[in-house]
Structure 1
Amino acid sequence: MQREELVAHCLAKPGAEETYPWGDAELVAKVGGKAFAFINLDGGTVGVKCGRDAAEAAEWRERHPGAIVASAYIGRYGWNAVDWTGPVADDEVRELVDASYDAIVAALPKARRPAAR
């Protein structure tokens, strides 16, 4: 997957916004003020919510050892860092981004959820 494709997929989500809280090296895609994807623009990884906790997220790490790892600091909350530059199929990367977005939207108060398109 190309970086532009990943960014476009994230930002095409209803209510998605592009932020750079730590400089130009990492794009954080948010919905309702909450992050659903941390895109490392230099390193080729995207951090996404892959489950309710580390145990659920571990299923993805077991399927793609080395290409999907627990995210630093937030891995215990179900976040994984996914190598989107080739080891993980493009459709699976999109699936993970979609699931992360859906999980974050579901946790938002109804007033902050984006309207469906």
Structure 2
Amino acid sequence: MNIEEYREYCLAKKGVTEGFPFDADTLVFKVGGKMIALANLSDFDAGIALKCDPEHAIQLREQFPDDITGAYHMNKKHWNNVKPNGSVPYMLLKELIDQSYLLVYNSLTRSQKLEVDIENEKPPGLLH
């Protein structure tokens, strides 16, 4: 997966926004104001940080020890760093992005989810 595919895949999800809250190189995707994924644009191949169920995170790290590790500067119990061009199959990488999105979206309050849903229903081109 390259940076363009990663960006398009993340932005295709309902309510996802992108930004650079930390520095000019770290692209962060959020839903409801909470992070779902982040990657360094200068070194994309170093990995994508994705939220993950703690038990599944351990299984993935054991299955792909060279390409899935605890995410740098993140809570390693809940965040994995996944190398986008290593041994992790393309479809699994997409599934891990999906899982990260769902973990975060499902943790939103009812009002936050409603806001995400309403914003996503607006016709393109209308101002918020």
Q: Taking structure 2 as the reference length, what is the TM-score of the superposition? A: 0.82
| Higher deviation after alignment, 38-47 or 88-97 | 38-47
Name the SS of the counterpart of 1:75 in structure 2.
coil
**Deviation (angstroms), 1:8:** 0.6
CA deviation profile, 1:36-63 (whole Å, cap 9, x unmatched): 0012222221101121x3x431111111
Counterpart residue type for residue 104 of structure 1: V
In structure 2, the partner of 1:84 is: 84
Pairwise CA distance, 1:25: 1.3
* Partner Cα distance (2:88, 2:6) in 1: 13
Structure 1 gaps, min length 5: none
**In angstroms, what is the RMSD of aligned CA positions?**
1.5
Q: CA deviation at 1:108?
A: 0.3
Alignment of 1:14-93 (within 5 A): 14-43=14-43, 44=45, 45-51=47-53, 53=54, 55-72=55-72, 73-76=74-77, 78-93=78-93
Stretches of structure 2 lacking an aligned partner (at least 5 in a row): 122-128
TM-score under structure 1 normalisation? 0.89
- What amino acid sits opposite 1:32 in the alignment? G
Q: Which amino acid counterpart does residue 81 of structure 2 have in structure 1?
A: A
Aligned length: 114
User: Which range is displaced more, 38-47 or 8-17?
Assistant: 38-47
Once superposed, which parts of structure 1, at least 4 consecutive aligned residues long, lie more than 6 Å away? Answer: none
Q: How does 1:74-113 map to 2 (within 5 A)?
A: 74-76=75-77, 78-113=78-113
Q: For 1:42 and 1:85, locate their aligned partners in 2 and report how far apart those are by CA, in whole Å.
A: 15
Alpha-carbon separation, structure 2, partners of 1:38 and 1:2: 14
- Cα pair 1:50 1:60 within 8 Å, conserved: no
Amino acid at match of 2:80: N
Q: Deviations over 1:72-112 (max 9, x none)?
A: 23112x11000002321111111000000000000000111
Q: Secondary structure at the match of 2:66?
A: coil
Higher gyration radius (CA): 2
